[in-house]
Chain A
Amino acid sequence: MSARTAGRAALLAVLATVWSVAAYLLWRSQVPSSLHLPHVAVRQMFSAAQLRAASSFGRFTTIDWVLAEVTQLVVFGLYAWRGARFARESAAGPIGTGMLLGMIGFALVWISQLPFGFASLWWERRHHLTHIGYVTYAFGNWLALGSQFVFLCLTLLIVMGLGRLTGGWWWLPAAPVFVGLVTLSAFVTPYLLTTHRLHDARLQAQARVLERIEHVQHTPIVVESVHDVTALPNAEATGLGPSRRVVLWDTLLDGRFTNAELRVVIAHELGHLKRQHLWKDVGWYALLAFPGAFIVARVTRRRGGMGAPEAVPLALLAIVVLDLLALPLQNAISRHMEAEADWEALQATRDPAAATALFKRFVSTTLDEPSASTLEYLVLENHPTIEQRIAMAEAWRGYERSNAP
């Protein structure tokens, strides 16, 4: 082994160690490691009709997702092969041409995904989960689509600018820049949502109590009006530092959920904030951004590196493939944090019956399957399954009993 190879191996080992330590620190959870999730008798808990409806809904959604992903890969593959010839349609210099190539790739994929989006929309409309019209779906969200294009151009400006300055080492300065942008985005996002304050005084008072219990006082609890586009209930914890807040969709407050169940939802979202999950999201992004950018840099070397516009179509393909490969890991991380938030909610509300009722209600209101197949679990489930969430509520009950003084 030459000294150079040994040096590289040592460097790799150091980096792997640093990565692993960071990942370990981010992975740490309040959920007791000794916690054993009991078996949940799903078939006894839900009616056959409920299970059939959820299964049918989930099967179509999964097939649609798989077909959309395959199509996306095919389109990006073809584009990586032939897309560089669109460079002749540009008078914008290397970086501008790279932006053009990136945008064309995105636009082609957007078009290719529309049929699957329509299929999914049709399916959701059929199950009364959304009220969005087909025309609105296709043409109603130009602002979001346009923002994606502008963001893509900004990304390419950074990457290609660094690629032209630093050659094959662009990924080293680029990764922290993107981490910074993701942090900024996480901070700013709450200010871009149109929300109003929670009008239910009783629920507001209960939220204040939960905030005290979870040590996240003065967190605004706000409501986002979405009932005109969807019937799905949802909530999210968003923002960093002064921008952090809990956003409840107004579909949660339409009478389908009891007050106790809503307390669990709020406690769950406050749990995210208590455990700094948004910061951890940024941390995980950083851990994945460095190796991801490195791989893209390696893949695009044969096309002249990211300083050359001809490399952009290939880079897009590389990113999509990497994203797909990393999806099981990303979902595992997300499920891990959601489980921790569930645990925090149980600790704060001390009401496993309400948590169980809430999770059971999700089967009828969101058509979520209580349990998932391995493929669905790996690539589609970014929350624990309903079966797992109910099992955790049961486990918490047992845990509390065994740890009672």
Chain B
Amino acid sequence: MDVHPVQLVVQDDLARSRPTVFFRLLLAIPHIVWLFLWTLLTVLFAVVTWLATLVSGQPPAWLHRYMCAYVRYQVHLTSYLVLAANPYPPFDGRKGEYPIDVTLPEPEVQSRWTTLFRIFLAIPALLISSAFSGSGGLRFSSGSHRSAGTYSGGGALFTACAFLGWFACLVRGRMPKGLRDAGAYGVGYGAQVLAYLLFVTGRYPNADPTAMLAGVERPPEHPVRLVGEAHDLRRSRVTVFFRLLLALPHVVWLALWAVAAILAAVANWFVTLVRGTPAAALHGFLSRFVRYRLHVYAFLSLAANPFPAFGGRAGSYPLDLELPEPGRQNRWKTGFRIVLVIPAAIVNGALEWGLFVAAVLTWFAALVKGTAPWGLRNLMAYALRYDAQVNAYGLLLTDVYPNASPLEGAAAQPDAFDDTL
């Protein structure tokens, strides 16, 4: 797959200044005012660029430069607000000086058809962007007044990352990598959407988190990870059309199973607290539940095609889960698990909202094309993986905290040579 012309560049070292984090929203006020004014002008210029691109097939160079600066400024400011970056951003959207930045293409020839209908074509991307990041374009207020030009940073994932990151940064002076990566992904996707909307590029935004964060270091491997056949994008149109109805028996069965799983988890909590390791039988039962939930959600959200089995057996579904064997767990973490899981549950809630939007869009795409878009599939896989990690953590299958990074964890590299020898 060729690389998207709008690429995210992440050079952030995760270090955060506590005072600027504490007052971040106040410090950002001048930027928000400036962005508001700049956006008003950009709306005007966007119309001019649209007409110019329709006539000449590509945007004029000076307008392109202007739009690039605007997109870049949005990236810088959003990164600052959601704590994906630390330094105070410049006001001019200059290139290459901010830890979270984007590379943007030179002016290019664009299809006049897609230019003509750009505002409509951008709607699916805007929906994803607003679900995950809340950025990426001009927002409409919930009331009757169109608030063109207001800053639009109200996405669920952004809010969760910023809210949780704020506490983490104040305590540790560092942004958790998972939250930073999630925020950076939202920033990057928002930039692609904005660049598309403002005619910086004619390339449609790519929702694939792996491609978006290609240059970012992968997190350590998590014991709960996705396995299976990722590249099977074929979707049966009939089962796609009736997906909600077809999933009903699974939803009922999952709900019944969930009741038993909660009771088993309570029992497992006592066992793990006393023995330090979960009971094997309970661990197996809960593992199957977590895996079955993934299968059902994958089927329901169209992240996978086939009708899943009812048993949550390993290897029975193309989008599957690898789960740890029963192992030693920290008793403190076990004792306070129900409290510790809350931040992860907040992020999970945000991702599930994004998963829902991605699933709805995939439904339309799969009905038309008979395949799921690769980017959306990977985006849903990210949300599903995190959901499984949260469940595994909450149900005491592992004491490794869920990793919010959109990137799948990398196995630890063996040392080149053993210097203990």
* CB-CB under 8 A for A146 and B239, given A89-B307, A91-B306, A92-B310: no
Among A86, A145, A146, the most chain B Cβ lie within 10 Å of the Cβ of A146
- Whether A149 contacts B309 by the Cβ 8 Å rule is no
Chain A neighbourhood of B19, CB < 8 A: none
Report the separation of the CA atoms of residues A103 and B252 in the bound assembly, to the nearest whole angstrom: 15
- Whether B317 contacts A103 by the Cβ 8 Å rule is no
Chain A neighbourhood of B249, CB < 8 A: 99, 103, 149-150, 153
- Whether A150 contacts B252 by the Cβ 8 Å rule is yes
Report the separation of the CA atoms of residues A146 and B239 in the bound assembly, to the nearest whole angstrom: 16
Report the separation of the CA atoms of residues A89 and B236 in the bound assembly, to the nearest whole angstrom: 7
B109 within 8 A of A: no
Report the separation of the CA atoms of residues A153 and B256 in the bound assembly, to the nearest whole angstrom: 15
Interface size class of chain A, counting residues whose CB lies under 8 Å from the partner chain:
10 to 19
A90 within 8 A of B: yes
A104 within 8 A of B: yes
B245 within 8 A of A: yes
B295 — nearest CB in chain A belongs to which residue?
A91
- Whether B246 contacts A92 by the Cβ 8 Å rule is no
Chain B, range 302-356, C-beta contacts under 8 Å to A: 305-310, 316-318
Chain A neighbourhood of B3, CB < 8 A: none
B249 — nearest CB in chain A belongs to which residue?
A153
Among A90, A92, A93, A107, the most chain B Cβ lie within 10 Å of the Cβ of A92
Report the separation of the CA atoms of residues A150 and B244 in the bound assembly, to the nearest whole angstrom: 12
- Whether A104 contacts B242 by the Cβ 8 Å rule is yes
A90 — nearest CB in chain B belongs to which residue?
B307
Chain A, range 13-54, C-beta contacts under 8 Å to B: none
- Whether A90 contacts B306 by the Cβ 8 Å rule is yes
* CB-CB under 8 A for A92 and B236, given A107-B246, A150-B248, A150-B252: no
* CB-CB under 8 A for A96 and B309, given A107-B245, A146-B245, A150-B249: yes
- Whether B239 contacts A89 by the Cβ 8 Å rule is yes
* CB-CB under 8 A for A96 and B307, given A86-B239, A91-B316, A91-B318: yes
Chain A neighbourhood of B308, CB < 8 A: 91-92, 96
Among B242, B305, B318, the most chain A Cβ lie within 10 Å of the Cβ of B242
CB distance from A135 to the nearest CB of B (A): 17
Report the separation of the CA atoms of residues A149 and B248 in the bound assembly, to the nearest whole angstrom: 7
A149 — nearest CB in chain B belongs to which residue?
B248
B side interface size, CB within 8 A = 19
Chain B neighbourhood of A92, CB < 8 A: 306-310
Q: At the interface, is chain A mostly helix, strand, loop or mixed?
A: helix
Report the separation of the CA atoms of residues A83 and B310 in the bound assembly, to the nearest whole angstrom: 22
Chain B neighbourhood of A108, CB < 8 A: 238
A156 — nearest CB in chain B belongs to which residue?
B249
Interface string of A100-144 (1 = CB under 8 A from B): 100110011000000000000000000000000000000000000
Report the separation of the CA atoms of residues A108 and B246 in the bound assembly, to the nearest whole angstrom: 12
Chain A neighbourhood of B305, CB < 8 A: 89
CB distance from A296 to the nearest CB of B (A): 21
CB distance from B308 to the nearest CB of A (A): 6
Report the separation of the CA atoms of residues A386 and B213 in the bound assembly, to the nearest whole angstrom: 75
- Whether B242 contacts A107 by the Cβ 8 Å rule is yes
Report the separation of the CA atoms of residues A104 and B236 in the bound assembly, to the nearest whole angstrom: 12
A97 within 8 A of B: yes
Chain A neighbourhood of B238, CB < 8 A: 86, 89, 104, 108
- Whether A103 contacts B236 by the Cβ 8 Å rule is no
- Whether A104 contacts B318 by the Cβ 8 Å rule is no
Name the contact of B307 in the complex, choosing from A100, A107, A145, A149 (C-beta under 8 A).
Answer: A100
Report the separation of the CA atoms of residues A146 and B252 in the bound assembly, to the nearest whole angstrom: 10
- Whether B239 contacts A91 by the Cβ 8 Å rule is no
Chain A neighbourhood of B252, CB < 8 A: 150
Report the separation of the CA atoms of residues A100 and B316 in the bound assembly, to the nearest whole angstrom: 16
CB distance from B246 to the nearest CB of A (A): 5
- Whether A149 contacts B310 by the Cβ 8 Å rule is no
- Whether A103 contacts B310 by the Cβ 8 Å rule is no
Report the separation of the CA atoms of residues A153 and B242 in the bound assembly, to the nearest whole angstrom: 15
A146 — nearest CB in chain B belongs to which residue?
B248
CB distance from A108 to the nearest CB of B (A): 8
- Whether A103 contacts B306 by the Cβ 8 Å rule is no
Chain B neighbourhood of A96, CB < 8 A: 307-310
* CB-CB under 8 A for A103 and B309, given A149-B248, A149-B249, A150-B248: no
Report the separation of the CA atoms of residues A153 and B305 in the bound assembly, to the nearest whole angstrom: 19
- Whether A103 contacts B316 by the Cβ 8 Å rule is no
Report the separation of the CA atoms of residues A148 and B309 in the bound assembly, to the nearest whole angstrom: 20
Chain B, range 236-276, C-beta contacts under 8 Å to A: 236, 238-239, 241-242, 245-246, 248-249, 252
Give chain A's interface residues, CB within 8 Å of chain B: 86, 89-93, 96-97, 99-100, 103-104, 107-108, 145-146, 149-150, 153
Seed contacts A96-B310, A149-B248; 7 additional CB < 8 Å A-B pairs: A89-B306, A91-B308, A91-B317, A96-B308, A99-B307, A100-B246, A149-B249
11 chain-A/chain-B pairs, Cβ below 8 angstroms: A89-B236, A89-B239, A89-B305, A91-B309, A91-B318, A96-B307, A96-B310, A99-B307, A145-B245, A146-B245, A149-B245
The 8 A-B residue pairs with the shortest CB-CB distance, nearest first, are A91-B306, A153-B249, A107-B242, A90-B307, A100-B307, A92-B309, A89-B236, A149-B248
